[in-house]
Structure 1
């Protein structure tokens, strides 16, 4: 039985306030991940030809995935800048800024001329805008997690924090849905000429909606309590690195396998299905759409389940399954069956959901409240560099080098082992003190595992 939060904690708003925070976290993150996911899908499907032309399709795809990686490599800058601001000036203001940044970058990508029109300036501009997207996403995740979880009951942090986790599959579902619709309605020539731009320009309308939702929210109760106690950190980045290194290491390692598995079953699988299995773009996108739609339900269920059972045990068991599944998936889809591809993608994304649902709560509860935005953002972004950023590149390189799926599966299994290690270093939740900024010295709660 979870201990009850002490009476000194800041009161939580009523049910309507909690629901508004949950929806704002989910919708805002979904909109930002729509922007990020539409780029990822375009990198796999069209950017190689339009911005990185080459006589070798493998080289063009590799260069396109390099720009995909830039969006991850730039995330730590967003984590450093926006994470720090989130612990100093508040969660709400930072989340509005990140939404504007990602939306503007995505809108401009939709207006970019291609290599055929302006030459090398086209891929350079694309990389710079992708960099801006990554900076925004780097500052978004930690705040979105706190927006919902700090309004909700800390004993149900797994469920409330999962609102931000629903954003990626929801955004991915919307992005791939738009691209699949355009691909079905347009000829190949029309899609490559101008159709892909529609998906990026659509982002402008989505950002306006997201800003309207977030502007109506108040600051979280936990941050208001920190303000009242004058307990905001002056140098949160330095404090995280010097006082909570074990917490940061645990949170970073815990995120690697989910990032890599997600890159496999939502990004690289598009290339694998079209280039290796000879399937159409629409068939591959449909398989991803089906798996992503299931995640919208499975992720909050997994988060809620982690409030009732040991969070680390659920997460760790799912990480082991993540290491095993690719060894079943690749032989399953070898004959090019769409039904088996869809089943394999669903299996991969179900396993991902069981890790991803509890992940936000696990990462957030590694850090004390006064350093939580900074710590969560740094863990999220640094893990992204060694996880999601290089995954499509490594998948493409390994397949191009060995012409076999086994190295890809081994790579995923290694990342699963790293995640299990991180979970072993982490701590279980302690709701009675997790929301009390002054209840324990900085570093204690997050650096020392709680039995």
Structure 2
């Protein structure tokens, strides 16, 4: 059950303010860079990859080519559970910090390679095969990234600020989205759409090399999680964390996956679908808006996601994680259909307002996620549990959200049907989070069955 700071150890309370700032910056910046890499592909899949890597199909049936291009986004998600299993297993055994650095470098290398790939016109069928292979590597890396960043922040947090600390790796996701969309917009504005289609699309991928170096240096300065250190000191590492996870915590894995599906699906509609839908020709089931202003409006609208995520983590420390999630999913469902009527005006200001309000609804079901998931699993299997649950939720939610949206649009020629799809997923996630045990908030995050350090009574 939830308890006060005086009765439950809060590892973060032992850290000085400088170290706390390093933890928050390290998890946020590293996550921003990793998700920039992941999202830059989603942006490219909607804008340029179909004609470049699926050229014959794009020439004869551009609609099907676009569906398949969106499907390549989802392919990587299928490998996120594998990355979560491997990284979670190693993270539970050898520490959060080492695995975070490894996943960051792996993601960046795959992203840079995509920027160097020859197209279908140059090497034929080998081009989409190599593209998919690199996307699989990205998916594997992303599967191990989130769990480590989430736990580094929450396990360093004072008890009363777990939601707030845990929101920092979460805001790395909208920050990565903002950075990816801004870079695509800036390059398009600087060199023009034609040049971007020919060669400029490679620049955002190659920029990842610089970001890898920055993220690696920042993450190296962050101390290992206090909870993991305590597990080492007490020799409390499980001999088979994965086996224990599925024997004793399968319910939590399933719930954590279902809790995430609606948020992830809605997020990927903003990341991969909306700008493409708004800027492509009307005869291709689009709105025919200018690509530059649409990308800029999407970038600015995504700040709503950033702000609401930080607020969601903060408010969950006060009114509870489950209640915060429930409010968030009610708001998401309420706006999921009306937004499309605003977007369909093809007015850039209405587009911005509709998407901005949409992203504002994300934060209450995203900001508290790190803390909620950390409190759902015991320390020995926590990295594995949160990573696998997150990865499975991403498959069910965001993996094929853009492709499903495209299919709904071409089938019914009515964008509001996509909103109905989000409403249904919101109901699923609402029910799942309502089934979480109400007394987990504030639990001791130290390994089950071992004695914790002296209680920390102050957040300072």
For residues 266 and 35 of structure 1, the distance between their equivalents in structure 2, rounded to whole angstroms, comes to 12
Q: Aligned pair count?
A: 441
Contact 2:154 2:370 in 1 (8 A): no
For residues 322 and 422 of structure 2, the distance between their equivalents in structure 1, rounded to whole angstroms, comes to 20
Change (3 A) 1:323 1:90: same
Q: 1:148 deviation in Å?
A: 1.2
Residue matched to 1:28: 30
* 1:81-136 residue CA offsets vs partner (Å, 9 max, x unmatched): 00111101100010011001000000000000011111011100000000000100
Q: 1:439 deviation in Å?
A: 4.1
Residue matched to 1:194: 199
Residue matched to 1:292: 302
Contact 2:72 2:132 in 1 (8 A): yes
* Selected match of 1:154 from 153, 159, 162: 159
Contact 2:108 2:209 in 1 (8 A): yes
Residue matched to 1:3: 4
For residues 415 and 290 of structure 1, the distance between their equivalents in structure 2, rounded to whole angstroms, comes to 26
User: Which TM-score applies when normalising by structure 2?
Assistant: 0.92
Q: 1:239 deviation in Å?
A: 1.4
Greater shift in the superposed pair: 70-79 or 427-436: 427-436
* Selected match of 2:261 from 256, 276, 280: 256
Question: 1:281 aligned to 2:272?
Answer: no
Q: What SS does the corresponding residue of 2:368 show, helix, strand or coil?
A: helix
Contact 2:375 2:443 in 1 (8 A): no
For residues 446 and 355 of structure 2, the distance between their equivalents in structure 1, rounded to whole angstroms, comes to 42
User: Which TM-score applies when normalising by structure 1?
Assistant: 0.94
Q: 1:9 deviation in Å?
A: 6.6
Contact 1:21 1:217 in 2 (8 A): yes
Q: What SS does the corresponding residue of 2:367 show, helix, strand or coil?
A: helix
For residues 247 and 434 of structure 1, the distance between their equivalents in structure 2, rounded to whole angstroms, comes to 17
Question: 1:338 aligned to 2:343?
Answer: no
Contact 1:5 1:432 in 2 (8 A): no
Q: 1:429 deviation in Å?
A: 5.9
Residue matched to 1:448: none
For residues 318 and 7 of structure 1, the distance between their equivalents in structure 2, rounded to whole angstroms, comes to 28
Greater shift in the superposed pair: 247-256 or 203-212: 247-256
* 1:320-367 residue CA offsets vs partner (Å, 9 max, x unmatched): 221221221112222211111100110110001121111221122111
Q: 1:266 deviation in Å?
A: 2.5
Contact 1:155 1:431 in 2 (8 A): no
* 1:35-93 residue CA offsets vs partner (Å, 9 max, x unmatched): 01111100000001111122222112111111111121110110110011110110001
* Selected match of 2:400 from 390, 409, 424: 390
Residue matched to 2:455: none
For residues 342 and 185 of structure 1, the distance between their equivalents in structure 2, rounded to whole angstroms, comes to 22
Q: 1:388 deviation in Å?
A: 0.6
Q: What SS does the corresponding residue of 1:357 show, helix, strand or coil?
A: coil
Kindly report which structure 2 residues correspond to 1:175-190, keeping only aligned pairs within 5 A, or say none. Answer: 175-190=180-195
Residue matched to 1:326: 336
Contact 1:369 1:434 in 2 (8 A): no
Q: What SS does the corresponding residue of 1:365 show, helix, strand or coil?
A: helix
For residues 18 and 441 of structure 2, the distance between their equivalents in structure 1, rounded to whole angstroms, comes to 22
Question: 1:375 aligned to 2:398?
Answer: no
- Listed as ranges, the gaps of 5+ residues in structure 2 are 281-285, 452-460
CA RMSD, Structure 1 to Structure 2 (Å): 1.7
* Selected match of 1:48 from 43, 47, 50: 50
Q: 1:284 deviation in Å?
A: 1.8
* Selected match of 1:37 from 34, 39, 59: 39
Residue matched to 1:445: none
* Selected match of 2:16 from 11, 14, 17: 14
Q: What SS does the corresponding residue of 2:302 show, helix, strand or coil?
A: helix
Q: What SS does the corresponding residue of 2:113 show, helix, strand or coil?
A: helix
Residue matched to 1:400: 410
- Listed as ranges, the gaps of 5+ residues in structure 1 are 442-451
For residues 431 and 359 of structure 1, the distance between their equivalents in structure 2, rounded to whole angstroms, comes to 12
Contact 2:307 2:363 in 1 (8 A): no
Residue matched to 1:145: 150
Greater shift in the superposed pair: 407-416 or 116-125: 407-416
For residues 312 and 351 of structure 1, the distance between their equivalents in structure 2, rounded to whole angstroms, comes to 15
